[in-house]
Amino acid sequence: MSSTHPANTSAAEGEPKVSNFLRQIIENDLDKGTYQSRRWAGSPGDAAHQEAGQPDPARIRTRFPPEPNGYLHVGHAKSICLNFGLARDYGGICHLRFDDTNPEKEDTEYVNSIIDAVKWLGFDWQAQGTTHLYQASDYFDFMYRAAEYLVQNGHAYVDEQTTEQMRANRGDFGKPGVDSPFRSRTPAENLARLREMRDGQHEDGSMVLRAKIDMASPNINLRDPAIYRIRRATHHNTGDKWCIYPMYTYAHPIEDALEQITHSICTLEFEDQRPFYDWLLARLCEGGLLKSPPPRQYEFARLNLTYVITSKRKLAQLVYDHKVSGWDDPRMPTIVGLRRRGYTPESILLFAERIGVTKSDSWIDYSTLESCLREDLENKAHRGMAVLDPVKLVLTNWAEVFGSDGYTEDCTQPALPHSAIAEGQTPPPDRVFKIGKEVWIEREDFEEVPPKGYKRLFPGNVVRLKGGYVIECTGAGAKDANGQVTEVHAKVIAGTKSGTPGADSVKAKAAITWVSVASGVPAEVRLYDRLFLDPHPDAGGKDFIEALNPNSLKVVTAYVEPSLANAKPDEKFQFERHGYFVADRVDHAVGKPVFNRATGLKDSWGK
């Protein structure tokens, strides 16, 4: 399979664009020239820094800002496709920013996995010779300077109430808050306290810096939100330089503004934070610390996928409690898990495009994701035969017809059906495999007493071994102590081989898949099913562990034809009649094939 990077071309080229209200907003801003006056000095920075730069060559700037505290999942993939996709489509630049302002949870393992995931999807943060890969913790100095500015101008104060007092005085939806007794301190007093906080003169949790806005605001987020807290923790980037850390709601708008982001796109749960986002940036712009116009925040509905959980914390629990084999377990909705399951970047991009972007929460059916994979692999994945539940079929008249029991013959079949070959494209070389006296067939393809309408092997019935000969079944050849059939017998009909002039001389009722004993290779095949039995495993505070599917993995030993046994790791195939499979990236080796079922051929989720 080719590994082109579809993300570099507009995914929707030639197709009508799916509903995406953000496109309208951006197009409107571009028409009005909202951000035309922006300058960019080549790196993030404050107003003075950007002022000295050139007019920004990027028409818009977006960002994808993960917190490096876990592996990215399919929900993040939606956000990546959205942010990088919009930048690509509108002559903009998308920054990859590690939102690492929380000192305790970050890890370089996660940083590297995030970089790999975004690259694998085909996106890039290099533009015009600059690497737009940023760390929010690099902005701590500015964030602190901005805090002093707010204090000096009466927009922030140090509150020494206890956490309980603060909570009680915040009020609730029906009840306005009560001013803190520390709210009326002078800027000079507050500045002194803030500096003491910074210099480590106070205990963790003994006081916080709060924005001074409105304790009676109907939006509780505007009731003097905390913006800095004391926390003695070693940060992976800044070490022990700081013992105070900014709160996320304070840090995030500043990060966006320093990076000259125009459209800051986040999920709906931040909608109530937008007034604070705007308030903060307006203060810092009017103080001349940041360049106007500031970025604007827009919210979209997060991805909810049935039978899937999309929370890094809950996914981490599955990993640490050994409910799955790791972050890249093929049942995980992580990007590494999807990749190991056999998903392609193209299929995920197609999915993101297809689900669109809306402002109201809804559930996307898991089958939508699977059908995008089928659509992508349909014309790409080479075909092959594999027998997943093998029983031996013996062609009892083989020596009579071909002269000896040991005789074998080559069969050829196309790697891709005619319909999958685009005009002008050279078809891949045919697959070659042997037929001999003994072949493996699926256990379900033989019935001693056929149910009504059954067309496959039963005594007296005539079927074709796909790509091989027509055979006539003579019955069960052997059974074990439990009466289970261990060998099926049939007679080969001479002159009926596929692709020869006599192929149609005998009419077969059905064609069945098979692999010869002579050229079949045993393979470990991992048959994955949904990880959860409940379509909404963690909705309404449910314990998602209880919804785990005990049968989400079944491992079988199958027989596969040589073209499959020689697969490269990560190569995808259609096992005829069974579905799409991938050679496992981790465990597969030539001579010891291991395949994962990516998806069946048809939607089975509704059943």
Active-site residue, from 63, 212, 312, 339 = 312
Of the candidates 577, 561, 519, which has an alpha carbon nearest to the alpha carbon of residue 430?
A: 561
Nearest to ligand ATP of 104, 286 (CB atom): 104
Q: Which does 137 bind (CB under 5 to 8 A by kind): ligand ATP, Mg ion, none?
A: none
Of the candidates 329, 428, 449, 337, which has an alpha carbon nearest to the alpha carbon of residue 384?
A: 428
The tokens for 369 are 């994701």
Among residues 302, 323, 509, 536, the one that binds ligand ATP under rule CB under 6 A: 302
Nearest to ligand ATP of 67, 587 (CB atom): 67
Q: Which residue is nearest to ligand ATP (CB)?
A: 75
Nearest to ligand ATP of 90, 98 (CB atom): 98
Q: Which does 310 bind (CB under 5 to 8 A by kind): ligand ATP, Mg ion, none?
A: ligand ATP
Give, in order, the Cα–Cα distances in Å from 118 to each of 20, 311, 336, 338, 348: 21, 18, 11, 13, 12
Nearest to ligand ATP of 348, 525 (CB atom): 348
Residues 555-584 that bind ligand ATP (CB under 6 A): none
- Residues 6 or more apart in contact with residue 576 via CB below 8 angstroms: 383, 384, 385, 386, 466, 513
Among residues 273, 310, 371, 596, the one that binds ligand ATP under rule CB under 6 A: 310
Whole-angstrom Cα distance, residue 196 to residue 136?
24
Tell me if residue 302 is catalytic: yes
Among residues 251, 266, 471, 547, the one that binds ligand ATP under rule CB under 6 A: 266
Q: Which does 311 bind (CB under 5 to 8 A by kind): ligand ATP, Mg ion, none?
A: ligand ATP
HEC-encoded secondary structure of 532-579: ECCCCCCHHHCCHHHHECCCCEEEEEEEECHHHHCCCCCCEEEECCCE
Residues 33-92 that bind ligand ATP (CB under 6 A): 65-67, 75-76, 78-79
Nearest to ligand ATP of 136, 470 (CB atom): 136
Active-site residue, from 23, 67, 448, 466 = 67
The tokens for 94 are 């998308």
The number of C-alpha atoms within 13 Å of 404 and in the hemisphere containing its C-beta is 4
Task: Write the single-letter amino acid at 238.
Answer: T
Note whether 261 and 95 are within 8 A (CB): yes
State the nearest-atom distance from the C-beta of 99 to Mg ion, in Å.
Answer: 7
Nearest to Mg ion of 67, 148 (CB atom): 67
Which of 303-311, 374-382, 434-442, 455-463 is the region at the interface with ligand ATP (rule: CB under 6 A)?
303-311
Nearest to ligand ATP of 258, 441 (CB atom): 258
Does a cis peptide bond (omega within 30 degrees of 0) precede residue 293? yes
# chain residues binding ligand ATP, by CB under 6 A:
14
Whole-angstrom Cα distance, residue 334 to residue 312?
9
State the nearest-atom distance from the C-beta of 223 to ligand ATP, in Å.
Answer: 23
Among residues 213, 303, 357, 439, the one that binds ligand ATP under rule CB under 6 A: 303
Give, in order, the Cα–Cα distances in Å from 194 to each of 164, 188, 288, 479, 579: 21, 10, 21, 84, 63
Active-site residue, from 105, 183, 302, 323 = 302
State the nearest-atom distance from the C-beta of 297 to Mg ion, in Å.
Answer: 15
State the nearest-atom distance from the C-beta of 79 to ligand ATP, in Å.
Answer: 4
Among residues 223, 283, 296, 312, the one that binds ligand ATP under rule CB under 6 A: 312
Whole-angstrom Cα distance, residue 519 to residue 605?
35
Convert 257-276 to b/e letters by CB count within 10 Å (16 or more is b).
Answer: bbbbbbbbbbeeebeebbeb
State the nearest-atom distance from the C-beta of 369 to ligand ATP, in Å.
Answer: 13
Nearest to ligand ATP of 117, 515 (CB atom): 117
Give the three-state DSSP class for 322: coil
Q: Which does 75 bind (CB under 5 to 8 A by kind): Mg ion, ligand ATP, none?
A: ligand ATP
The tokens for 535 are 């379509």
Q: Which does 66 bind (CB under 5 to 8 A by kind): Mg ion, ligand ATP, none?
A: ligand ATP
Among residues 19, 28, 163, 311, the one that binds ligand ATP under rule CB under 6 A: 311
In the 8-state DSSP scheme, what is residue 419? G
Residues contributing to the site for Mg ion (CB under 5 A): 67
Whole-angstrom Cα distance, residue 256 to residue 264?
7
Note whether 513 and 442 are within 8 A (CB): yes
State the nearest-atom distance from the C-beta of 267 to ligand ATP, in Å.
Answer: 4
Q: Which does 267 bind (CB under 5 to 8 A by kind): ligand ATP, Mg ion, none?
A: ligand ATP
C-alpha torsion 557→558→561→562, nearest 10: -10
DSSP secondary structure letters along 458-512: -TT-EEEETTS-EEEEEEEEEE-TTS-EEEEEEEE-TT--TTSTTTTSS--S-EE
Tell me if residue 312 is catalytic: yes
Residues that bind ligand ATP (CB under 6 A): 65-67, 75-76, 78-79, 266-267, 302-303, 310-312
**Which sequence positions are flagged as catalytic?**
67, 302, 312
